[in-house]
Amino acid sequence: MEFDRDYKMLIDGKLVAAADDMDVVNPATGKAFTKSPRASESDLNAAVEAAQKAFKSWKSTPIEERRAALKKAGQTLMAQADQLASLFTKEQGRPTAQAKEEILGGGYWLMTVADQEIPVEVTEDSDTRRVEVHRTPLGVVCGIVPWNFPITLACWKIAPALLTGNTLVIKPSPFTPLCTLKMGELFQEIFPPGVFNVISGGDELGPWMTAHPGFAKISFTGSTATGKRVMESASKDLKRVTLELGGNDASIVLPDVDVDKVAEQIFFGAFFNSAQICVATKRLYVHADIYDKMRDRLHAIAQNAPVGDGSDQGNQFGPIQNRAQYERVLNLLDDAKKSGLTVLEGKDVPEEGFFIPLTIVDNPPEDSRVVKEEAFGPILPMMKFDDLDDVIDRANDSEYGLAGAVWSADIEKAASVAARMDTGTVWINQNLQMTPLTPFGGHKQSGLGTENGAEGLSEFTSPKAIFIPKSNASVA
């Protein structure tokens, strides 16, 4: 398969071009290197119609067949990991070895979710009747994915939507369409026509999708601002929504940690993927007793961390994924400097492309922009604390509530802090961990609903209660 050109959408089991196309930019150079299809409204209509037609048979296809198709899709994705990884780096920016991990992880996700059970709950089993609650699929699901984890987040939607008997039309970000289009091509023969559709387009396509009456549910991952627009649009015909949105995650580091041991891990949790992760540490609270040592250690790591084109081996951190985000992050950095904050920059970065040095902001005030806003780029504000109750209040003082972390040599103490954090996930002495069987979702304005786990799976279904009498006495 040729991975460098010829990108088509998958609609009704066929690979189709669009009448129009759009540039795809390599963020490491800032230059367009290929084009991807720009779907029209009639392309969208064709995908939804195909998915509606396919739903009629896919929903009653035996679950074992649906499982087998998803497993084959997972294996196929993994088998193409090397080729996809270099394409991933070109469009997304992340170093190739890490890109490969995402592709293998996507395959693992498809295969693991394929084994999940869709339980039938019995709420009553008495002398007179049995009441069963079955889970039925919803119809055609609309999947909308951002640019930071294009394969992972697509797989989080593909696996549960198709396992539960729905059909799917998925849309990658206009900034990272290529790997998802290639996934469409790879899965073309695996799913019956119309079950899995991939369409790519410009900024107009997302709003067209959320307004389209043919969708029963929107599974959206992206920013909180866009999530609110999605919900508003979906409300017109009461589409179901799952919204995975932004975060401003806090990590709290207690004074008993061994700074040299944990600094690398904390650094990774803040800067991996050049900090473009919804669950990255975005506010780092460090106890005053170890603050200076931790700051100096993190700064030293930043000064040695190679940032550059992800296709050059040896670079561990790539560019910001797109120009708009790059300018946003630069603006935040500029604001921090102009406000007189102490800004500690990491190793120099290439001038060409959307690169920003990995940067630590030394003890900024809580009300500064760099603390309050989700940077979604490599600027980490690090703050001092000496009172545990106070720092937990500061960590929770956010409109977001996605994830957080606690670092301590005393696991019990860390667990008691974790219990007080208002977030959907908390890690103790680790970072960025997720599993297909663990529910993931944001509290407060970080989201609505859940992905993954039994709860995530059930969001692709409706409960259907069936009351079954024990005898036919009343009708016989």
147 φ, ψ to 5°? Answer: -95, -5
Nearer to ligand NAD, 273 or 408 (CB): 273
- Cβ atoms of 153 and 221 within 8 Å: the answer is yes
Tokens of 146: 């951002």
- The nearest distance, CB 246 to ligand NAD, in angstroms, is 3
The mark string for 237-276 relative to ligand NAD (x by CB under 6 A, - otherwise) is -------xxxx-----------------------------
Angle subtended by helix axes 81-92 and 63-79, to nearest 10 = 70
- Cβ atoms of 187 and 73 within 8 Å: the answer is yes
List the catalytic residue out of 91, 102, 185, 244. 244
Length of the chain: 476
Q: Which helix (H) or strand (E) holds 295?
A: helix 288-304
- The nearest distance, CB 171 to ligand NAD, in angstroms, is 6
- The nearest distance, CB 292 to ligand NAD, in angstroms, is 30
User: Strands 240-244 and 342-345: what pairing?
Assistant: unpaired
For 349-387, where are the alpha helices, taking DSSP H only?
369-372
Nearer to ligand NAD, 209 or 417 (CB): 209
Nearer to ligand NAD, 180 or 316 (CB): 180
Contacts 24+ apart (CB under 8 A), 221-229: 221/144, 221/145, 221/146, 221/153, 221/156, 221/157, 221/245, 221/278, 222/144, 222/145, 222/146, 223/146, 224/399, 224/400, 224/445, 224/446, 227/447, 227/448
- What angle is formed at CA 108 by the lines to CA 13 and CA 103, rounded to 5 degrees? 70
Q: Considering only residues 181 through 240, tell me which ones interact with ligand NAD, judged by CB under 6 A.
A: 206-207, 210, 221-223, 226, 229-230
What lies within 8 Å, CB to CB, of 183 at 6+ separation is: 77, 151, 154, 198
Among 154, 278, 307, 432, binds ligand NAD (CB under 6 A): 278
Nearer to ligand NAD, 398 or 408 (CB): 398
What lies within 8 Å, CB to CB, of 278 at 6+ separation is: 148, 221, 244, 245, 246, 247, 402, 446
Which residue's beta carbon is nearest to the bound ligand NAD?
206
- The nearest distance, CB 72 to ligand NAD, in angstroms, is 26
- The nearest distance, CB 245 to ligand NAD, in angstroms, is 5
Q: Considering only residues 138 through 167, tell me which ones interact with ligand NAD, judged by CB under 6 A.
A: 144-149, 153
Q: Which helix (H) or strand (E) holds 292?
A: helix 288-304
Tokens 């993954």 appear where? Answer: 452
The mark string for 360-399 relative to ligand NAD (x by CB under 6 A, - otherwise) is --------------x-x-----------------------
- The nearest distance, CB 218 to ligand NAD, in angstroms, is 8
- Cβ atoms of 380 and 302 within 8 Å: the answer is no
Nearer to ligand NAD, 241 or 294 (CB): 241
The mark string for 290-329 relative to ligand NAD (x by CB under 6 A, - otherwise) is ----------------------------------------
Nearer to ligand NAD, 7 or 58 (CB): 7
CA distances from 88 to 232, 308, 337 (A): 32, 15, 33
Binding of ligand NAD by 180 (CB under 6 A): no
- The nearest distance, CB 374 to ligand NAD, in angstroms, is 6
Nearer to ligand NAD, 246 or 353 (CB): 246
Cα–Cα distance, 391 to 127 (Å, whole number): 56
User: Strands 240-244 and 217-221: what pairing?
Assistant: parallel
**362 CB-side CA count, 13 A:** 15
- The nearest distance, CB 301 to ligand NAD, in angstroms, is 24
Nearer to ligand NAD, 26 or 173 (CB): 173
Q: Considering only residues 29 through 58, tell me which ones interact with ligand NAD, judged by CB under 6 A.
A: none
Residues in binding contact with ligand NAD, number by CB under 6 A = 29
- The nearest distance, CB 429 to ligand NAD, in angstroms, is 22
What lies within 8 Å, CB to CB, of 192 at 6+ separation is: 13, 54, 57, 58, 61
- Cβ atoms of 390 and 287 within 8 Å: the answer is no
Nearer to ligand NAD, 144 or 421 (CB): 144
Catalytic site includes residue 65: no
Closest listed residue to residue 217, CA positions, set 133, 172, 157, 173 = 157
Among 93, 95, 107, 174, binds ligand NAD (CB under 6 A): 174
Binding residues (CB under 6 A) for ligand NAD: these are 144-149, 153, 171, 173-174, 206-207, 210, 221-223, 226, 229-230, 244-247, 278, 374, 376, 402, 442, 447
Question: Which residues are known catalytic residues?
Answer: 244
